[in-house]
Amino acid sequence: MTLKWEVKSLRDVCEKASSNVSQNQLANETGKHPIFGAGGFIKNVSFYHQDKEYVAIIKDGAGIGRLSLLPAYSSVIGTLQYLVPKDVLDIRYFFYYLSSIDFNKYKNGSTIPHIYFRDYSVEPILVLPLAEQKRIVAVLDEAFDAIAKVKENADKNLTNARELFELYSTSIFTNCGSKWMERTFSEVCEIASVLVDPRIEEYLNLKHVGGANIVSKTGELINLKTSKEEGLISGKFLFDSTMVLYSKIRPYLMKVAQPTFKGLCSADIYPLSPKAGILDRKFLFHLLMSAKFTEYANTGSARAGMPKINRDHLFAYRFMCPPLLTQKEIASKLDVLRRNTDELESVYKQKIADLEELKKSILQKAFSGEHVGANS
């Protein structure tokens, strides 16, 4: 039996509608009807705009093209748009079809990107008999449910790997030995660097490290450029491979690095020099990355505009400091565990990325007509 099917444009098989509701209008609203924004459910309100299931698409902002299948008797705010299929389409078939489209190719604007229905409404859609649409939906539901379960396990494993490292790190810094001594930061490290002019010839080809160049919670340095390449003009700290770099902005981000080269760093980064014979550099790195120190840094960095830890608060930090040899042993163990954790994270992140690609591949095949042959 040959299926009756045809290809139509999106604009021929759905209705679009806009919302003029802004989130700040909802403060005093109460009711039983959900309203949604780009981040999902906002609250229940007294009104609704759609009386049957629909697809909402983000039309403005960083998340343009992201889709949600939303319930009847609900609404969205103005950054989203309603897409309601006509009777020739099953709602879930319609949602899956839209999920196969790359809406980024219709992006306009750079400051606040947006997409227009008039542009993407030319997308072709394969219109099959409703029974066949439902069959395809059932197949996709089953496949995506299986993918979701695998992804959930990968997410859990990723979380567990991180928590294991944090738990071990915390235990090391709290289970003190008999020879550990209470110290303040000012006793064990210092900022010996002074600000230099990055326009001076001897500094032009040195790499510059700003907060954005340090990956949160990993210590990785990325996208480094020289002073000359960045066209730096304001004063920068000179650092070398004996120091640890600590970003004082938003300390909860835990941006700490151990550079292996001589360079310049932003004035918003502290180039910390451990005192010889007292503090091991690698131990200092792990201490700055510890949960206990981060909690301390956060409590002393409350600022309305930008959380920031000042020098006085930093150097007043008190901690139990082990002998130098013990510091080296602890740092070595944490280095190994961090490497193993990073490797596990890389595996799980790649697995999650592969699952997302698998979903895209399944959708592309489902709506490229490949499924028709099996039933024709």
- The phi, psi pair for 49, rounded to 5°, reads -105, -25
Q: Where are the beta strands (DSSP E) in 4-129?
A: 6-9, 14-18, 33-37, 40-45, 54-58, 67-70, 75-76, 80-85, 124-127
pLDDT at 342: 84
Domain membership of residue 191 (yes or no) is yes
Looking at the whole model, is its pTM more than 0.85?
no
Alpha helices in 176-323 (DSSP H): 185-188, 227-230, 281-288, 291-299, 311-315
Confidence of residue 356 (pLDDT cuts 50, 70, 90): confident
CB contact at 8 A, 85 and 50: no
**What is the count of structural domains for the chain?**
2
Same domain for 212 and 107: no
The first and second tokens of residue 19, run together, are 């919302």
pLDDT in tens, 21-72: 999 999 999 999 999 999 999 999 999 999 999 999 999 888 899 999 999 9
pLDDT in tens, 74-119: 999 999 999 999 999 999 999 999 998 999 999 998 788 999 999 9
Domain membership of residue 168 (yes or no) is no
Domain holding 78, by residue range, is 6-127
Residues 6+ apart with CB under 8 A from 340: none
Q: CATH no. for residue 201? A: 3.90.220.20
Domain membership of residue 333 (yes or no) is no
Domain membership of residue 337 (yes or no) is no
Find the helix or strand (DSSP H, E) in which 246 lies.
strand 244-247
Strand partners, 221: 214
Domain membership of residue 357 (yes or no) is no
Same domain for 209 and 286: yes
Mean pLDDT of 265-276: 95
The C-alpha atoms of residue 67 and residue 58 are separated, in whole angstroms, by 7
DSSP 261-279: S-EEE-TTEEEEEEPTTT-
pLDDT exceeds 70 at position 3: no
Sheet containing 256-257: order of strands: 189-190, 269-274, 244-247, 256-257
Confidence of residue 373 (pLDDT cuts 50, 70, 90): very low
The C-alpha atoms of residue 240 and residue 209 are separated, in whole angstroms, by 12
Question: Which amino acid, 264?
Answer: L
pLDDT exceeds 50 at position 128: yes
Same domain for 241 and 121: no
Domain membership of residue 349 (yes or no) is no
The C-alpha atoms of residue 269 and residue 210 are separated, in whole angstroms, by 7
The region that residue 23 occupies, defined by phi over 0 for left and psi between -120 and 50 for alpha, beta otherwise, is: alpha
pLDDT in tens, 54-64: 999 999 888 89
Same domain for 312 and 203: yes
The C-alpha atoms of residue 12 and residue 280 are separated, in whole angstroms, by 69
- Please provide the average confidence, as pLDDT, over all residues in the chain: 90
